[in-house]
Structures are given as C-alpha cells and as structure tokens.
C-alpha cells in the first residue's frame, strides 16, 4: 500500500484513530485539509513533505495523490472527519484505483454522531429516535424537503449553516412541526465550539452569529442536550417536552 486515505476525526486531535496516528508518524508525504488540527500535522516525521491542500481543487488533489503514489512514496492523505462522509474520499480512491496505485482507507470518527455528542445529543435514543437521515445542506433546492420533513427520527445536515433560513422554511412548509427541537453546533469538537438550541421555527435566527463549519440537528433527541449537554446554551427547549 502506498497511499492511505485517513480520517482525522471531527476536530479534537485526540479523536484520530490509533492506526491513523501511526500512519501520520511514519509517512513520507502528508497531504492535509485546511481544518486539520496543527497538532496532527506536527506529528509527521521531521523529514516528511507536508502539503496543505488549501489552494488545490479536487482534480488537482486527485492528480497529486496519483503522482505521489506512482513514485512509490508512503503517502498519508489526512482528511477531516471520515473520508467517505461528504469527504470526497471516494473520488480520490477512484482516481488511485484507475491509475493502478495501491491504497487503503482508514476510517475516522465522523461528525455525524461525534459533533452532536459533543453537545450532549445522541443521534439515536431508545423510544425517541431509531432513524437518522444525513444530508448536505449547501443547496436546499437539491433536496426533497417534503420527503425530509416526513422522515421520522433525527435529521443531520452537513454544510447547512448558510442556507439555514431556506432549509427551515422548506421543512416548516412541508409540515414539520415548528416546535421540533433543533440545534446548530459550530466548530464542534474544537476549543472554539459553540452550540445553539432552539425550536425549529426559531433556530435560523438563533444561529445567525455562528461560524462555519457547522452541523444542524433536527429532532426530539436534541431535547436531551438540556440534561446531557453540560454547558450548552439552550434558548427554549424543555427536556421534559420531548422525552
């Protein structure tokens, strides 16, 4: 194996896997995303080449990985979260497979569950939610909001902060109850994390000052954050209402 596609986890450098950290510590080339913790980049060997992907588009990354892999270098491609959850890791893997370069996927802790957990929200909970629907929210027009509004359980939206007002409007128009508990967690699992909890009808306003990246969670499990969330700022949700 020459190229490892490694998930770094949701932010906290301690949440990389043991295997992922070992690979970073023994790589010859580290190609890493903008949001990777500096502590993890610093774990690469002193002599390793470090390449920040900041100014490379996806095609350039794919080509870079193929080129490095063809030279037989031990490459770690370190990606935020999990490589296969809205991480475009599949495209990088495909490019490597098509070029005949050996590769391995090393999964990471995805934000799907870890970021809500950091705010005291279990995405599943017996008697409250046994279904989770995960979507990308940067383009609400691409979503079937009627179907999403009807999904039972928990809705988790990646990249949903910018278009949150449209997203919420669409869910309400499609019949989702205005008092459904909702949360926005900004920069979850980092020291800069901020969480806002409110009714669905009020969440877009309540989250207006938050910064990307952020995860949106909609569903009755959010109400558990008032008990499990420690110091989460909660505007209007009563724990007793949903459980």
Helix (H, G, I), strand (E, B) or coil at 185: strand
Closest of 201, 233, 241 to residue 218, by C-alpha: 201
Answer whether 213's CB lies under 8 Å from 159's CB. Answer: yes
**Residue 14 or 178 with smaller CB distance to its own copies:** 14
**Residue 64 or 114 with smaller CB distance to its own copies:** 114
The 10 Å CB-count burial string (b at 16+, else e) for 137-155 is: beebeebebeebbeeebbb
Nearest-angstrom CA–CA distance, 156 and 135: 6
Nearest-angstrom CA–CA distance, 9 and 78: 10
Angle 87-89-92 from CA coordinates, rounded to 5°? 140
Question: What residues contact residue 48 under an 8 Å CB cut-off, 6+ apart?
Answer: 27, 28, 29, 30
**Residue 105 or 174 with smaller CB distance to its own copies:** 105
Site residues (vs its own copies, CB under 8 A): 7, 9-10, 12-19, 21-22, 82-91, 93-94, 97-98, 105-110, 112-114, 116-118, 120-126, 130-136, 142-144, 147, 150-152, 221, 224, 227-228
Nearest approach in angstroms of CB 223 to its own copies is 12
Nearest approach in angstroms of CB 28 to its own copies is 20
The tally of CA atoms less than 13 A away on the side-chain side of residue 203 is 35
**Residue 8 or 206 with smaller CB distance to its own copies:** 8
Beta bridge partners of residue 157, listed in sequence order: 135, 216
Nearest approach in angstroms of CB 27 to its own copies is 16
**Residue 206 or 216 with smaller CB distance to its own copies:** 216
Nearest approach in angstroms of CB 90 to its own copies is 3
Nearest approach in angstroms of CB 187 to its own copies is 16
Length of the chain: 243
**Residue 55 or 126 with smaller CB distance to its own copies:** 126
Nearest approach in angstroms of CB 149 to its own copies is 11
**Residue 65 or 206 with smaller CB distance to its own copies:** 65
The tally of CA atoms less than 13 A away on the side-chain side of residue 134 is 12
Nearest approach in angstroms of CB 125 to its own copies is 4
């Amino acid at each position: 194996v020459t190229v490892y596609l490694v998930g770094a986890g949701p932010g906290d450098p301690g949440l990389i896997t043991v295997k992922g950290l070992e690979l970073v510590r023994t790589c010859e080339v580290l190609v890493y995303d903008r949001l990777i913790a500096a502590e993890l980049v610093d774990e690469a060997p002193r002599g390793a080449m470090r390449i920040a992907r900041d100014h490379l588009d996806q095609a350039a990354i794919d080509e870079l990985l193929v080129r490095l892999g063809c030279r037989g270098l031990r490459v770690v491609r370190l990606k935020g979260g999990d490589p296969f959850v809205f991480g475009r890791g599949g495209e990088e893997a495909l490019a490597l497979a098509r070029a005949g370069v050996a590769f391995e996927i090393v999964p990471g802790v995805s934000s799907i569950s870890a970021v809500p957990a950091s705010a005291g929200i279990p995405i599943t909970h017996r008697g409250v939610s046994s279904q989770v629907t995960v979507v990308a929210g940067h383009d609400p027009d691409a979503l079937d909001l009627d179907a999403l509004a009807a999904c039972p359980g928990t809705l988790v939206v990646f990249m949903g902060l910018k278009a949150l007002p449209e997203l919420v409007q669409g869910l309400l128009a499609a019949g989702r109850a205005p008092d459904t508990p909702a949360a926005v967690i900004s920069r979850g699992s980092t020291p800069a994390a901020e969480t806002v909890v409110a009714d669905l009808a009020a969440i877009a306003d309540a989250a207006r000052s938050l910064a990307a990246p952020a995860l949106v969670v909609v569903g009755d499990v959010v109400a558990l954050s008032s008990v499990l969330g420690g110091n989460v700022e909660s505007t209007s949700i009563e724990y007793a209402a949903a459980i």
